Structure 1
C-alpha cells in the first residue's frame, strides 16, 4: 500500500500479516515455487528467486519451508502458477492494483471482482489505473542500519534514483532493471535488506476521509487475505492519526 506516510502504511500491512502468519508463509512459498519454476532453482542464479527467499527469511519463514517450496517447483505435474494483474478503483475513487499468482484465472478474477464490489469499489480494465503509478525497484532497510546521510550517499553511489528515510526505516528507489545491482551495492555496506522488489509507486496521492479510508482498508485487507493475491498497491493519502485509529 502507499499513502500519506509510506512507512506507517507498510507497518499497517505487516501488522495485518503477522496476525495471519500461516497464510503469509503460504503466499511466500507460492512466490518461491513460481520463481524457481520460471527460472533456475538456485537463488544465486535466479534474481527473482533470490528476492523471494530473502523476503521469506525476513518474515522468519523456516529454512525447511523455503527448501520445500523450491523443491516443489521441480516436481512433475505440480501447480503451474500464472501471474495476473487486476486494476480498479476503491472507495473514495483511489486507484488499486492487485497482483496475483493463480492456477485458475476464472476463480481469481471472480473473487477479486467480488471483493471490489463488496466494499463499494469497481474492477476496471488493464491499464485503467497503472498509468497513475510508476514501476520501480524498492529496497527497504531498518532504521538502525544507517544514518539518513549515510544511506542517501550510498544510494547515490549505488545508482539509485531516490531515498526516503524516517524513524521507521529507509526506502531506496531505483530503476527496476537495476534493482539487484543497487541492492547488492547497498547490502555490501549495510547488510541484508528487509526487502528488495519491484513495486508500483503512485505518482500522486488521492486524499480520503475516515469513512472512505475505513472501507478502503477493509477492502485491501480482504484482498490480501485471498490465497491467490500476492501484492496490493493503492494511491490513497490518509492522515497519520486517522490511519492509527483505523488500524488500532
Structure 2
C-alpha cells in the first residue's frame, strides 16, 4: 500500500468539477441509460448501473431524473449510444484518453479532433497512449472523511491496492473486479464516497511546464464541455506554484 502522493492521477484540474449542473446531469443520465440498456434495469443486479446511479446520487441528482434515465433504456425508439474512446497527446507531450457516449460517431470524432487541433494537441490512433495506463477502480473521498492514516487503515481492511492522500482528499485504487466490494466496505467505514468509477491510471506522470499548462487546461475544458464526452484522463502533474499563477 502506498500512502501520500502530492498529485492525484486524474485528468481534472482543481475546480474542474464546478461545471454547470445541467451538463453534469445530462452526462450522468446518458451513462445510466446505457448501463440499464446493456443489462437489467435493477441496480442491485447490474454493477455498471449501480455505479452510475451511485455517482449520480453523490452529485445530488434528483431521484426522478435517475428513474427517467433508467426508464429510457426500455422505451421504444430511444437513442442508441455507443461507447467510443479517443487517444492523443496534449501540450508538453501529455497523454490523454477521452471516453465518450455518442449517437453520432462522426460528430463526436470531429468535435474531439477539433478540440485537440485548436489547443496544441494531436489526436492519435486507437491504442496510441492507452498502453501507458492501467484500467483500475477509483474511489474518491473528501479530506473530511478522515486523516491519511485513518483512510489508509480503512482501505487496507477493505482490500484496496493503493491510496493517495492530499489536501484535496483521498483517492483509493482497486483492481476492476474488486471495485464494488471495496467501495461497499469503505462506505461502512468512512461513509458515502464522492465518486466510484472505473478509471485510467497513468503508469508514469509528466510534469507540465508553466508555458504548456494553460493551453493544456484549455484543451481539457474544451473536451469536457462536449456533450458526448463523459470523462477525460491524462498523465500530467502540475505543481501548486504553477496552479497558483494560473489562478
TM-score, normalised to structure 1, is 0.92
Q: Larger % of helix: which?
A: 1
Post-superposition CA distance 1:122-179 (Å, at most 9, x none): 1111111011111111111122223322221221122111012223221110101110
Gaps of 5+ in 1: none
User: Would you say the 8 A contact 2:99–2:229 is kept in 1?
Assistant: yes
Partner of 2:43: 43
Match of 1:5 in 2: 7
Q: Is residue 20 of structure 2 the alignment partner of residue 14 of structure 1?
A: no
Q: Tell me the distance in 2 between the aligned counterparts of 1:115 and 1:142.
A: 31
Partner of 2:31, secondary structure, is helix
Tell me if the contact between 2:7 and 2:166 (Cα under 8 Å) persists in the aligned partners: no
Superposition deviation, residue 12 in structure 1: 2.5
The DSSP-based 3-state class of the residue aligned with 1:6 is coil
Cα distance in 2 for residues equivalent to 1:36 and 1:75: 11
Q: Which residue of 2 aligns with 1:104?
A: 104
Contact map agreement 1:85 1:97 (CA 8 A) in 2: yes
Give, in angstroms, the shift of residue 39 of structure 1. Answer: 1.1
CA distance in 2, matches of 1:119, 1:11: 19
Distance in 1 between residues matched to 2:241 and 2:128, nearest whole Å: 31
TM-score, normalised with respect to structure 2: 0.93
Is the Cα–Cα contact under 8 Å of residues 154 and 186 in structure 2 kept in the other structure?
yes
Aligned counterparts, 1:228-243, within 5 A: 228-243=228-243
Could you tell me whether the CA contact under 8 Å between 1:4 and 1:238 is conserved in 2? no
Structure 2: where are the runs of 5+ without partners? none
Inter-partner Cα distance in structure 2 for 1:7 and 1:125: 23
Q: What is the aligned partner in structure 2 of residue 132 from structure 1? A: 132
Conservation of the 8 A alpha-carbon contact between 2:96 and 2:235: yes
Classify the secondary structure of the residue corresponding to 2:87. strand
CA distance in 2, matches of 1:41, 1:245: 47
Question: Following TM superposition, by how much is the alpha carbon of 1:206 offset from its aligned partner in structure 2, in angstroms?
Answer: 1.3
* Aligned residues: CA RMSD: 1.7
CA–CA distance in 1 between the matches of 2:235 and 2:221?
15
